[in-house]
């Protein structure tokens, strides 16, 4: 390990470590994308090595697929798996009803398809991602490149009638060229500051020609695992309303940290 984990990385790690307890032998598992999901993939690989756990993974991005294979996880497509037992993924924001904003890592389309093809979605995150009202984090929209400027203009017009505080729309860039998703699409980020009615906004923006999908995950997440920098973990289950607290020890000498 090249350096000691920061408190935020420890929070992500302990949430990830706790989340893999939901995975049982023989399961088909959706593997999310992003920094917290990467910890989860590492923790899952560790369980497989130490316990002989056998699972099949369906990654939500090429980055996750590469890491999963490196960890020794069998990777298949969603078409091959057909349906999943659980998907574990991060979030950029979540509210008290477990509505999410996702897509900061640029994989929202595949993430939403995989999550909705699962019996259960477990969200792994740190406490800083919890908000009273969604919208501080820019809302990503995946759009086709053809006519994207027209699509942006239509979105800006649509936002006039939405319950939001801001209406700035920007094209996500990768250095000096547009960021491109695994599906060959662009991402427009909506700087809304506050989303008064996420369900309505999700339905309305998806009617704009050129938009493939938006980063609002409504009624998809079932459980949120919240990590803290001191190793504390809180698990909230939407189905039964339960809140469970625990603690995960962070042993930075373990193999999971060797190439960090």
Give 116-159 pLDDT, tens digit per residue.
999 999 999 999 999 999 999 999 999 999 999 999 999 999 99
pLDDT above 90 for 253? no
- Of the residues 111, 130, 213, 245, only one is catalytic, namely 111
The response to whether 103 counts as a known ligand-binding position is: yes
What pLDDT was estimated at residue 91? 98
pLDDT above 90 for 227? yes
The response to whether 36 counts as a known ligand-binding position is: yes
The response to whether 129 counts as a known ligand-binding position is: yes
Q: Which of 109-113, 236-240, 246-250 has the highest mean pLDDT?
A: 109-113
Domains of the chain listed by start with CATH number: 7-130+219-257 (3.40.50.1360), 139-214 (3.30.70.260)
What pLDDT was estimated at residue 257? 62
Concatenate the DSSP letters of all residues of the chain into one string: --SPPPHHHHHHHHHHHHHGGG--TT-EEEE--SHHHHHHHHHHHHHHHHH----EEEESSHHHHHHHHHTT-EE--HHHH-SBSEEEE--SEE-TT--EE--TTS-HHHHHHHHHTBS-EEEEEEGGGB-SSS-SSPEEEEE-STTHHHHHHHHHHHHTTSSBS--EEEE-EETTEE---TTS-EEEEEE-S-BS-HHHHHHHHTTSTTEEEESEE-S---EEEEE-TTSEEEEEETTT--EEEEE----TTSGGGTT-
The response to whether 89 counts as a known ligand-binding position is: yes
pLDDT above 50 for 1? no
* pLDDT tens sequence across 23-60: 999 999 999 999 999 999 999 999 999 999 999 999 99
Q: Is residue 245 annotated as part of the catalytic site, yes or no?
A: no
């Amino acid at each position: 390990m090249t350096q000691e984990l920061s408190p935020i990385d420890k929070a992500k790690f302990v949430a990830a470590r706790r989340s893999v307890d939901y995975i049982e032998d023989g399961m088909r598992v959706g593997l999310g994308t992003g920094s917290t999901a990467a910890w989860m993939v590492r923790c899952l690989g560790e369980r497989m090595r130490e316990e002989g756990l056998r699972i099949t993974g369906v990654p939500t991005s090429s980055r996750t697929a590469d890491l999963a294979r490196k960890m020794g996880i069998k990777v298949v497509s969603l078409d091959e798996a057909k349906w999943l037992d659980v998907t574990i993924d991060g979030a950029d924001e979540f509210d008290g009803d477990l509505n999410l904003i996702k897509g900061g890592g640029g994989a929202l389309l595949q993430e939403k398809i995989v999550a909705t093809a699962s019996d259960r979605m477990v969200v792994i995150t740190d406490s800083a991602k919890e908000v009273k009202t969604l919208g501080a984090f820019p809302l990503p929209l995946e759009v086709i490149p053809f006519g994207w400027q027209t699509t942006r203009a239509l979105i800006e017009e649509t936002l006039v009638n939405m319950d939001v505080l801001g209406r700035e729309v920007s094209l996500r860039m990768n250095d000096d060229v547009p960021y491109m998703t695994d599906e060959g699409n662009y991402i427009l980020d909506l700087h809304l500051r506050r989303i008064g009615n996420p369900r309505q906004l999700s339905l309305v923006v998806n009617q704009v020609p050129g938009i493939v999908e938006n980063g609002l995950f409504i009624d998809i997440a079932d459980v949120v695992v919240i990590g803290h920098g001191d190793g504390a973990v809180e698990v909230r289950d939407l189905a039964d309303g339960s809140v469970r607290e625990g603690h995960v020890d962070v042993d930075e000498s373990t193999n999971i940290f060797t190439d960090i």
